[in-house]
Amino acid sequence: MFSRAYKSAITLPPLFWVATFLLTPYALLFCYSFWSVSPAQIIVRQWNLENYRELLRVSMYPAVLLRSMRIAASVTALALLLGYPLAYYLSVHAGTRKHLLYQLVVIPLWVSYLVRAYAWKTILGSDGVLNTLLQYFHITHHPLGFLLYSPFAVVLTLTHIYTPFVFLPIYASLEHIPRRLVEASQDLGAPPLETFWRVILPLSIPGVLAGATFAFVLSLGDFLAPLLLGGPSGVMISNVVVSLFGAAYNWPLGSAISFCMLLLVVALLFLTERLEKRWSFS
C-alpha cells in the first residue's frame, strides 16, 4: 500500500542523519585510535598500532580496566540482589498495591543522576550525615574514612542508580510468565521453593540478563561517580580517557581505550542477545 516515494521519504532522512551523526563519529573514534600526537601536540594521521601496543605495555591500563570491571560486576550483583526480590515481591505478592509500588520504584529513576551521586557524597563524607549520625549515637567516636573517596562509595552510588534499571526488565519478564505454568507446577505438588527454582527463575532469565547487561555496561563506562566519590583508589577506565582527552592531550590513545570499551560493550550485547533467545519462552 505504500509507494516508493513514501518509503524513501521515511527512510532516507533518518538514514542520512544517523549515518552522519552516529556512524561517522564512531568511525572517527576508530580512525583516531590508529593515529598519534606529535611532540608539538598536533594529531598525526599516520596509521599504526602504537596506541594498542601501549595499552598492553603499560600495566596501568589493564589494571584500571580490570578494576572498572570489578566495580561494574559488584554493582551488577548488588543491583540484582536488590532488584530481583523486589520485582518478585511486586509481581507476586503486592496485590492491589502493585501499580503504586511500581511507580514508587520508577520515580528515583527519573531523579537526575548527578543529584543522586551528590546526595551520597553528602551522606558519606567525614562530616557527612552518616558519620555524624554514628557519632551522635556513640556508635563510633571518629569519622569512618573509608566511606567516601573509595571504590565502596562508587559501588554504593552506582548500585543506587542502577537498581531500578535492573528491576524494570525483571519485573516485566515476571509479569509475562503465564499463570498456568505456575499453577501446573503447584498442582503437580511442587513446594513453593521448587516452583520458584524450576519454573519462575528460568523464565525470568531474559529480564535478568537485560537488567544485568544494562547495569554492567553503564557502570563500567561511568566517570562522574568516580570523579565525585571515588578518590585515587576509585579511578575507573573512563577517568583515564577523560584525562587523556583533557590535560594529557592524547586523543589517539584515549580513542584506543574508548574503542576497546565500545567493542567490549557490543560483544556483551551480542552475547546477551544470544543467551536471551535461548532462555526465552515462546
- Helix (H/G/I), strand (E/B), else coil: 222: coil
Nearer to other proteins, 38 or 96 (CB): 96
Nearer to other proteins, 128 or 231 (CB): 128
Nearer to other proteins, 79 or 151 (CB): 79
Nearer to other proteins, 5 or 247 (CB): 5
**Is residue 273 involved in binding other proteins (CB under 8 A)?**
yes
Selected binder of other proteins within 71, 149, 153, 169 (CB under 8 A): 169
Q: How far apart are CA 18 and CA 23, in angstroms?
A: 6
List binders of other proteins among 210-239 (CB under 8 A). Answer: 210-211, 213-214, 217-218, 220-224, 228, 238
* Residue 36 φ/ψ, nearest 5 degrees: -145, 175
- If you search the block for the grid coordinates 530481583, which residue do you land on? 84
Q: CB 15 → other proteins: shortest distance, Å?
A: 7
List binders of other proteins among 10-29 (CB under 8 A). Answer: 10-11, 13-15, 17-18, 21-26, 28-29
Q: Is residue 71 within 8 Å of residue 155, measured between CB atoms?
A: yes
75-94: buried (b, 16+ CB within 10 Å) or exposed (e) per residue?
A: bbebbbebbbebbbebbeee
* Amino acid, single-letter form, for residue 226: P
Q: How far apart are CA 147 and CA 127, in angstroms?
A: 11
Question: Could you give the string, one character per residue 94-123, with x where binding to other proteins holds by CB under 8 A and - elsewhere?
Answer: xxx--x--xxxxxxxxxxxxxxx-xxxxxx
List binders of other proteins among 58-97 (CB under 8 A). Answer: 82-83, 85-86, 88-96
149: left (phi over 0), alpha (psi -120 to 50) or beta: left
**Is residue 242 involved in binding other proteins (CB under 8 A)?**
yes
Nearer to other proteins, 91 or 150 (CB): 91
- If you search the block for the grid coordinates 589493564, which residue do you land on? 62
Cell triple for 61: 591500563
Selected binder of other proteins within 58, 133, 184, 267 (CB under 8 A): 133
Q: How far apart are CA 43 and CA 35, in angstroms?
A: 7
List binders of other proteins among 136-165 (CB under 8 A). Answer: 136, 160, 163-165
